[in-house]
Amino acid sequence: MSPDTASITLARTPLAGASRHGFVIGLAGWSGSGKTTLAEQLIGALTARGRDVATIKHAHHQFDADVPGKDSHRHRTAGAHQVLVSSALRSVLFTEHGTGGDRPLDELLAALAPADIVLVEGFKREPIPKIEIYREAVGKPPLWPGDEWIIATATDMKLEPQTDGAPAIVLDLNDAAAIADLICGLAGADKQTGAMKARCHRKRRVRAFCKRLGK
């Protein structure tokens, strides 16, 4: 089944926090596959289509977005477990988790303001629809054979859809516009029917991709 006519049916995510948003889609893949680069491109492409986009990014290491010496940092180091900094342009909430481990994705989704589309980078084992970002040079096996929530892959390798366990939709990793079209199609179908049947558009891009794969 070619990507431009592929119709897929997805189970609805059991995460209650997803219900406050129009559509939640994950970008899964190994480190170095290009998830953040693609996420950045998709945010621009989706907002250009008039969609309100929010993102959640999983970090595998300690990080601190605050700046030592700033008032917010001083509040935190003094012992405040939450510090909310707000101005006319933006607000930032810092929350200290201590040693309690990662926050569940469901909890993070519930903490976001409602959005048309939420892009989730990382959290590759969570039960949400996902696009796997697969780059052959990373040298690790794809995730899709063991994850029924992966409904498409964006890759730089030659891959036949629905063969060897591959998803029904295969897209060019370097074609962010086609991937954004797929997400918009899924989001629109989910909003209208809840069954989430979608088509991948951009037929010219898909044909060019298939031609490059020698189909």
Rounded mean pLDDT, 73-78: 89
Position 63 scores a pLDDT of 66
Strand extents, DSSP E, the chain: 23-28, 53-57, 82-86, 91-95, 117-121, 130-134, 150-155, 169-172
pLDDT digits (tens, 9 = 90+) for 4-21: 434 566 667 899 999 999
* Residue boundaries of the structural domains of the chain: 16-58+104-212, 66-101
| Top-tier CATH class for 16-58+104-212 | alpha beta
Q: What residues have CB less than 8 Å from 115, skipping those under 6 apart?
A: 21, 22, 52, 53, 54
Which pLDDT band, with edges at 50, 70 and 90, does 52 fall under? very high
pLDDT digits (tens, 9 = 90+) for 176-214: 999 999 999 988 855 544 433 333 333 444 444 444 444
Look up the pTM and report it: 0.79
